[in-house]
Structure 1
Amino acid sequence: MKKRILYIEDDREIGTWLRDHLSERDYDVAWLESGEGAVEQAEKCDLVILDIMLPGLDGFTVGQRLKKAFPATPVLLLSARTSIEDKLQGLDFADDYLTKPFHPDELAARIEVLLRRTGKTPAVIELKHLLVYPEENRVVDSRTGEEIPLTGKQHQIFQYLLLHPNQILTKEQIFEAVWREPYLEGDKTLMVHIRYLREKLELDPGNPEIVETVRGIGYRVRI
């Protein structure tokens, strides 16, 4: 069955191009040129792609209303705005944020990730010697049956990585998602938290197999 996408964009040239591109990828696309009627349309959709600059209500307001009405429906924001303030404002409710211009293949990849994440959350994720219970914020060592105590930030970092399985996440992405503030180049805060997280999760923290380092880019959890 085709996945249905609600696409809200007031620029007709861009809207036509992207609607046709998504249709070619076998998505059923409902296109609105403003936020009017968005909540009603979203009820039948699997994902929302939302431009920030809209006539009438802006994309931030429309997106917040959509998330309030349908918290499980992923929202992907599109914007020409690149400031960290706009990104953080958007990510306060949206599931992803893509700046214009963008390559359609990147958009398609992000859509696939978001749609995978909206499937039913598994009660438990088996990861090496770990049993992860996402809904309960618990991590258990399967060898002993004992829960591994993580701090709040360690849970947030690990859960964020698990929400993007097999995907390489940059330090900036992780830091801004967890701390909700701009990442400053050279800041070692995340690196320190990752080190302590590995000491609790890894069999050999010096050779991590769960939270992998991708040199020069960031981190990844393989599932």
Structure 2
Amino acid sequence: MVKKRLVYIEDDRQIGSWVKEHLTANGYEVDWFTDGSRLAAEPGAVLSGTDAGKPSCDLVILDVMLPGLDGFTLGRRVKENRPDVPVLMLSARTAIEDKLEGLQFADDYLTKPFHPDELSARVEVLLRRFGRMEEEALTLKHLQVFGEAERILHAETGEEIRLTGKQHQIFQMLLRHRNRILTKEQLYEGVWQEPYLDGDKTLMVHIRYLREKIEKDPSSPEIVETIRGIGYRVRA
């Protein structure tokens, strides 16, 4: 089972060491930083793990009071870069105004002091809510698709493939009806929620961009098949 990777920012070394030790003992991989400079400078690299050959981040834990950028600012940047990653705020600030500010973007807010078991429980709840708990993957050629978690991994490289909103909707619709041919009309109307106009190239363009991301050779697709004169199919 692949461990869930947590990115944790806490400048207090005693608290940080204690939290990391507890979460590690509970089966998580924890990247602990004492300030948010790296996350602020390269949020995509830190969260994707590409800067250190690590798996993609599953959850971010942020202290509010940090040197340099505060946790609220960092949290907003995380959500702008990766809205699919849950953010848990930790803070000694208990005022309702601080909690409300944090919950404008964060997914949970835990005040200090806290029991480590409560922290672990909140982490697990957020991972379940965001569909990041372990589930069986659907294998399509070189892809591993986690439908409920809405994650697609390249099985050979471990790289996570990110789709745009429309690309994701098209692929999910094909997956829900895999092994069946969906007409262009069915796909377009299912995704765009409006009538298909004969000759409209919008769907075709999105399919092309989707293939560029998921196919080994987009010019000879093996995952999203074209059924000439009818539509498209994903076979599994």
TM class by smaller structure:
0.5 to 0.7
Residue 59 of structure 2 is matched in structure 1 by: 47
Measure the CA separation in 2 of the matches of 1:98 and 1:70: 21
Counterpart of 1:111?
A: 123
SS in 1 for 2:27: coil
Q: How does 1:122-133 map to 2 (within 5 A)?
A: none
Partner of 2:11: 10
Q: What TM-score does the superposition give when structure 1 sets the normalisation length?
A: 0.53
Instruction: Structure 2: give runs of 5+ residues left out of the alignment.
Output: 49-55, 132-147, 151-236
1:93 to 105, 116, 129: 105
Q: How far did residue 121 of structure 1 move?
A: 6.8
Deviations 1:136-165 (A, max 9, x none): xxxxxxxxxxxxxxxxxxxxxxxxxxxxxx
User: How many residues end up aligned between the 2 structures?
Assistant: 123
What is the RMSD computed on CA atoms of the aligned residues?
A: 1.6
Query: 2:93 and 2:3 mapped to 1: Cα distance?
Result: 31
Shift in Å, 1:68: 0.3
- SS of the residue aligned with 2:35? coil
Whether 1:33 aligns to 2:34 is yes
- Supply the distance in 2 between the matched residues of 1:121 and 1:26 (Cα, whole angstroms): 20
Cα distance, 1:36 vs structure 2? 1.1
Please tell me the residue identity of whatever aligns with 1:11: D
2-structure distance, mates of 1:42, 1:8: 13
Larger gyration radius, structure 1 or structure 2: 2
Letter in 2 for 1:106: E
CA distance, structure 1, for counterparts of residue 74 and residue 22 of structure 2:
24
Tell me the distance in 1 between the aligned counterparts of 2:35 and 2:47: 13
Name the CA distance, whole Å, in 2 between partners of 1:12 and 1:79: 15
